[in-house]
Amino acid sequence: MTLDQNTRNAIIDLMKREVVPAVGCTEPAAVSLCIAKATELLGALPDSISVRLSTNILKNAMGVGIPGTGMIGLPIAIALGAIIGKSEYGLEVLRDVTPEAVERGKEYIATHNIDIKLFENAPSNLHIDVEVAHDTDRVRATISREHTNFIYIEKNRSVILDEDLSSASPDTQTPAEENKDVQLNLRMVWDFATGSPIEELDFILQARDLNKAAAEVALAQEYGHSLGSTMRIKGGALFGDTPLAHIISWTSAACDARMGGAPIPVMSNSGSGNQGICATMPVVSYAEDIHASDEQLIRALILSHLTSIYIKQSLGRLSALCGCVVASTGASSALVYLMGGEYEQMVAAVKNMVANLTGMICDGAKPSCAMKISSGASTATMSAMMAMEGHCVSSAEGIIDEDVDRTIRNLTSIGRDAMIATDLYVLDIMTCK
């Protein structure tokens, strides 16, 4: 099916909003962004900062490295958001961090009142409510639904911004519904990626450039659990010098750098840097191994990232489901394309992925995410290979439906609705250790 120009333009606009650079984990970055905006309006360094966070924001920000600090977690992200954060940078809010700023941040944590609480029954899985104070001045700022989406700003009880989200039920409104984005299906994704003029798609190469650069940093230095470099140096005895070994090494290395706090940007997908990495690096690695053309790489990356965006349209920004399930499904679709497959093989790969990885929990952003991403990347490769050999999990098995779009809805309804109790239980375990 040939998509008309208006539809293609709408999809390109969607991708350019959802595939953007981010420095560090997007959840603490969003908290820093909210703090930075409030501090700018306050006009002074806050004497106190109060932060209320939804379950998924708190879970994802507790144990992850903050870029350029050598520290983990929310206190330093909050302090630096107030000290050097610039809201105009968006999710790169802390890109100006320096060793001097880190020392000031440590001092701020020790001498100022930072109060962090769970926002029970928050109106969204992604919700950040901040209040900063200096002398008699108060500023409140709220981000909700998306990592850079301010919905409320108030200074000294004077309301500056107030977007009414009361009509939306908690945790069900998706990015596509909020922005009236084009509603995708898997056939549209394939037709757009494989049939659009190549000059409309080459913007996606920035994902390769940023995420490969992040991987190279981790392969040259120690970040996180160094899974990428371990695979590169020690993995040959078990995995050999193979495309699969290269995929795992490159993909996990980029995650090592990001989760370990490397002060470098990665290209995110649907608000997640790890999803951006997982949608990018298996594709880039395999394309290099088979000497794919630039056009093949561009179309494959578009296919991977847009498949991930499509799945997130019904899953929502944050959930109990690990994001690598989503992004590695996109990567598997792209690997099918690079292996010479057609839409039917892509459908098979997606079903194979849903049959395998559904249910992988998200227990926060942290260095060990590199291990989950490597599981997703290796499963993506296996699922694509099965599809290319004519093997597809059938509708008689588990949650797989004959219709691939319904299969995806089965996956996302489990992650969005059925695993709510799992999410709360995971956070309880994390906060009570």
Each residue's pLDDT tens digit, 67-114: 889 898 899 999 999 999 999 999 889 989 999 999 999 999 999 899
pLDDT of res. 300: 98
pLDDT of res. 174: 42
Specify the pairing of strand 265-267 against strand 158-162: unpaired
The amino acid at 232: R
Dist. CA 432–CA 403, nearest whole Å = 42
Q: Which residue stretches of 260-293 are H helix? A: 273-289
pLDDT tens sequence for the chain (433 residues):
679 999 999 999 999 999 999 888 889 999 999 999 999 999 999 999 999 999 999 998 888 889 889 898 899 999 999 999 999 999 889 989 999 999 999 999 999 899 999 998 899 989 999 999 999 999 999 999 999 999 999 999 999 999 876 544 344 344 434 446 899 999 999 999 999 999 999 999 999 999 999 999 999 999 999 999 999 999 888 999 999 999 999 999 999 999 998 888 999 999 899 999 999 999 999 999 999 999 999 999 999 999 999 999 999 888 899 999 999 999 999 999 999 999 999 999 999 999 999 999 999 889 999 999 999 999 999 999 999 999 999 999 999 999 999 999 999 999 999 998 998 899 889 888 8
In angstroms, the Cα distances linking 222 to 106, 166, 218, 257, 280 are 23, 46, 6, 8, 22
Domain boundaries defined on the chain: 21-162, 174-432
pLDDT of res. 173: 40
- Asked if 91 and 101 touch (Cβ cutoff 8 Å), the reply is no
Residue 134 tokens read as: 């200096």
94 phi/psi in degrees, rounded to 5 = -105, 25
Residue 296 tokens read as: 């093949």
The amino acid at 171: D
CATH topology of domain 21-162: 60s Ribosomal Protein L30; Chain: A; (3.30.1330)
Domain 174-432, CATH among 1.10.390.10, 1.10.4100.10, 1.10.1040.10, 3.90.920.10: 1.10.4100.10
Sequence-distant (≥ 6) Cβ neighbours of residue 325 within 8 angstroms: 353, 357, 358, 360, 376, 411, 415
Query: Do the domains at 21-162 and 174-432 have one common CATH topology?
Result: no
pLDDT of res. 168: 41
